A and B are shown apart, each in its own frame.
Chain A
Amino acid sequence: MDLDEAKEFKERCTQCAAVSWGLTDEGKYYCTSCHNVTERSKEVVNTGAIPNTKIQAINRGLKRKRKLEKGWDWYVCEGFQHILYQQAEALKTLGVGPELKNEVLHNFWKRYLQKSKQAYCKNPVYTSKRKAPVLEDNPSHSDWDSEPELLSDFSCPSFVESGAESQPDVHTQKPFPIIKASQSETASICSGSVDGVEYSLRKEKGIVKMTVPRTLAFCCLALLWQRETITLSDLLSTACQEGPCPHLGSEPANPRPPRSGIFVEEDHIPYINAFQHFPEEMKLYGRDKGIFAIESWPNYEDIYKKMIEIATFLDLPRFPDITEDCYLHPNMLCLKYLMEVNLPDEMHNLTCQVVKMTGIGEVDFLTFDPIAKMAKTAKYDVQAVAVIVVVLKLLFLLDDNLEWSLSNIAEKYNEKNKEDKPWFDFRKWYQVMKKSLDEKKQKWEETRAKYLWKSEKPLYHSSIDKSVVCKRREMVVNLQKQFSTLVDSTPTIGKKSPSSFQFNWTEEDPDRTCFHGHSLQGVLTKKGQSLTTKNSLYWLSTQKFCRSYCKHVTTYEESNFSLSYQFIINLFSFLLRIKTSFLHEEVSLIEKRLFKTKYSKTKKKSSRSRKVRKY
């Protein structure tokens, strides 16, 4: 099919005498003008993409097969180390301090290797056959520097180079070279890494095995330790749509200021296909595929669980305190999310009140302590958003009725008093938000549908299907080329620089009206010295919490709730890219703290509790 490749064949066609040859899939020449296929076939030089493996095998025998597997000896944990390294680098370019990589993450990782008995210990698990003798050769070394080839310098991917070049004798001196040889024989169907097969078979109790999603949990733990301005949902949306990552290896000229926002989703942190940035010599195939290939986006709940799991496994001490001036404190996050969803700044006052009353702003509540009896950390972002939902319920009740009548009042007031600070009109806000949300969602769905999952480096199970996989890859690339010529020539919007906000609000554009400066006067009344919400009713998102062993505290059946509530929950869960039920649960938990007394009473009382709150 490739005309360029056929150029060296210069004979005339026996049928039509033209000299215009193409290559068939079998590597034979065919005449492009009369489609006559010759018996002559091209001497295949490049090994990449010939479909017919049988022909290949006959042509080239075993020589090529060997070449294919050549590469450095590398361990699965080195692969993960490389991914972590890239992720840390990416975070650095996003403006996170260098200590995160050099100190925190580095230490966490060392600790992990030690705890999982892969390094920094006397008898590393399952590599012991190979490592133990080496260790004995160097008895002078302490535990911590006994594995220089594995972790000579974490902050640089040169660990691979040091493994293969500066320490070549470690491998050649090995007392069991036979193992290695036999391994490479069988490795053709096993794995590119030295221990890929063993690794995937390893099922020890009490050991947390490294996976690609767990790299994100590691990053998040390090961010939490550093009290960086990146929440889990920020991080995940950054990891979600990783493509070729541009940040690798090169330090950016101007490190950006610390920012939070949608990172992984916008290609800023390597996650999916992170392995394609491995050095050329680190060959991946066979079992490595199952270990490093990822076909799903990271999921908040899952990574959250993994964070706790890893922190407990690593036996980490109490994390640095989350105080009121930290970004992760609910007051700060509430402020951020209020701006993001275009709600009046005045609401911040109320969210602070709720935070105070529920006690979720306490240092002890917020600080992660893995050694504590019940290790759990606050879902900072989800919690902050849940507080906002509770405040909205306090103000507007969200029963599909009161919010609209309050809107009528605000609308009338605003019409009469055009000069004054406008009252917050829920209906108007809803209209603006609904439109923006729908647009954003649509765009999000479209980009998700267009997402390209497959790496440029195809992964295959064994050398036998390598050619098939490569051929397939090549086919897809060719077809993609063809269809991209049909797409509008205007380049698709390039990668956006990470921004802390997904929405943009301005006073000028009527579709993007900004409500930040609007006042809550219409919904609050003065009572003596303090302000009270005009609305004195409240309904609980969950009447009764689930006490069974199923682990979830409540369920969310959308249709049981008011449309306004559904909208609010949808809006916020889209913002954080989490499931609606997850947010609903968090709202219920906040309410449980806020209305502790009510909960003990509701067992007897009716469902709607009267609630007067003073501010």
Chain B
Amino acid sequence: MSDFSEELIKSTTEDDQGERCELSGTGMHFPWLQKHIETVATGGKKEKDFAQTTSACLSFIQEALLKHQWQQAAEYMHSYLQVLEDSDSCKRQAAPEIIWKLGSEILYYHPKSNVEAFNAFADRMKNIGVMNYLKISLQHALYLLHHGMLEDANRNLSQAETWRYGEKSSSQEVLINLIQAYKGLLQYYAWSKKKMELSQLDKDDYAYNTASQNMLDHSWKTSVNLGALIQIPGVWDPFVKSYVEMLEFYGDQDGAREVLTNYAYDEKFPSNPNAHIYLYNFLKREKAPREKLISVLKILYQIVPSHKLMLEFHRLLRKSEKEEHHKLGLEVLFAVLDFAGCTKNITAWKYLAKYLRQTLMGSHLAWVQEEWSSRKNWWPGFHFSYFWAKSDWKEDKALACEKALVAGVLSGKGCRYFRYISKQDHQVFRKKIKRMKKLVKKYSIINPGL
């Protein structure tokens, strides 16, 4: 359950007061303060024992859920439900949402629970008050999706979509959009299945026409459903992706570009690396000019310097004619290797080794020194230790050679990594090591005079 509620949290931060306030602020959360505030609100009046029961019950449920004791949780839930009859209208109104969250969690995991039980629970909870109808409908649909019941989910979403209650508050509008978008996603799923079928059909087949007509039909509905949501600031990756795929399929390149550009560059949207990745991939498919691709990846570089596209970025920069791009190319490589997850990326090391030589040959020693100065304190320990030398050599000799070359260039012949590798004697790598020694001698930035 948690996985889909998260999506909701992301999208509906505005409408949720109180309990989610910690999301919007500094990210700090003081549970004790909350309790304190609650007692102040009642004007210091002694809490009734009924309230004590329900709050104790709530913490027992939370504890049970934490320990995955679904049975116990259900037992306490049985008693906690009376909070719906709390004489304190404030608590009574907040109750359905809490009950829904806890109850759906229990029903999701409880061994004796099943889809029917969950459906019955969701249907009941939807109709307690009006504020939760959409939210619960959506989560109900997501539950059904989890269980592969696409049709039921779709029916649920359609029902929720047409639901109206007086004046919609703005928060409800977002939810309706989200519901429509999920419906769109389901239609996309059907569409892409159809697309698969179509690709297997012969164009001359009489079924082809109806199938393609069917697809068109679907796409039109879907784009209506998806289009509204992605106008609203938020993180809508799956929706955007499928929408763009459909637009592209029907040749609406401009529309797709507009959607993606908007998704990536609109400042109202939260910073989202995927937005730039989608745009980049789209532009690449479109064979956009290098300059344009570089500008997209530049932003991604600022958000996620360790992304695997950075090597591609480096290649683009290397091929560029501008000197500043060359310099950036070096920066990018260093930045990639700053991350522990990339330490064994042989391509990155190969690129760095090659590019260092190229840079130094181009007499840009200053660039290298600039990058190295901030790293010379920790890279030797981080990458070029004796331990790494040994283990790299054991696991991947080619990697060890590339690294040794970089190590030698950057921290001189005295570097442990370099020394260890250069002492190795191996038939296949003998030549390579020899070359490496030579290069280090020639280009090492340590005591270049020697």
Contacts and interface: CB of A to CB of B under 8 A. Distances in A.
Interface of A: 1, 25, 35, 51, 295-297, 445-446, 448-454, 458, 469, 472-473, 475-476, 478-480, 482-488
Contact of B56 (A448, A469, A473): A448
B78 A450 contact: yes
18 contacts: A1-B127, A35-B155, A295-B87, A296-B49, A448-B53, A450-B78, A458-B85, A475-B124, A475-B128, A476-B82, A478-B124, A482-B120, A482-B121, A483-B74, A486-B71, A486-B106, A486-B117, A488-B71
Given A295-B48, A485-B117, 5 more contacts: A296-B49, A475-B124, A480-B81, A482-B121, A485-B112
Given A35-B155, A448-B53, A486 B70 contact: yes
Interface string B27-61: 00000000000000000000011111100110010
Contacts of B49: 295-297
Nearest to B59: A449
A476 B121 CA distance: 11
Residue of B51, B81, B103 with highest tally of chain A CB at under 10 A = B81
Given A475-B128, A480-B81, A445 B56 contact: yes
B236 interface: no
A390 to B, nearest CB: 31
A160 B110 CA distance: 49
B313 to A, nearest CB: 52
B87 to A, nearest CB: 7
User: What bracket does the count of chain B residues touching chain A fall in?
Assistant: 35 or more
B76 interface: yes
Contact of A480 (B48, B57, B78): B78
B79 interface: yes
A51 B146 CA distance: 32
A454 B85 contact: yes
Contacts of B77: 483
A473 B50 CA distance: 16
Contacts of B266: none
Please give me the 6 A-B residue pairs with the lowest Cβ-Cβ distance, nearest first.
A486-B74, A295-B50, A449-B56, A296-B49, A295-B48, A449-B57
Interface of B: 48-53, 56-57, 60, 70-71, 74-79, 81-82, 84-85, 87, 99, 103, 106-107, 110, 112-113, 117, 120-121, 123-124, 127-128, 155, 159
Residue of A450, A483, A484 with highest tally of chain B CB at under 10 A = A483
B121 A479 contact: yes
B292 to A, nearest CB: 50
B53 A453 contact: yes
B125 to A, nearest CB: 8
Nearest to B57: A449
Given A1-B123, A475-B84, A450 B110 contact: no
B53 A451 contact: yes
A479 B95 CA distance: 13
Residue of B77, B78, B159 with highest tally of chain A CB at under 10 A = B78
A186 B50 CA distance: 31
Residue of A25, A295, A449 with highest tally of chain B CB at under 10 A = A449
A439 B79 CA distance: 21
B444 to A, nearest CB: 67
A446 B77 CA distance: 12
A15 to B, nearest CB: 12
Contact of B103 (A448, A478, A483): A483
Contacts of A453: 50, 53, 82
Given A1-B123, A295-B48, A445-B56, A486 B84 contact: no
Given A35-B155, A450-B57, A476 B75 contact: no
A478 B117 CA distance: 12
Given A449-B76, A483-B78, A487-B74, A296 B56 contact: no
Nearest to A445: B56
A295 B49 CA distance: 6
A453 B48 CA distance: 11
Contact of A450 (B79, B87, B107, B123): B79
A487 B53 contact: no
A487 B75 contact: yes
Contacts of B113: 486
B46 to A, nearest CB: 8
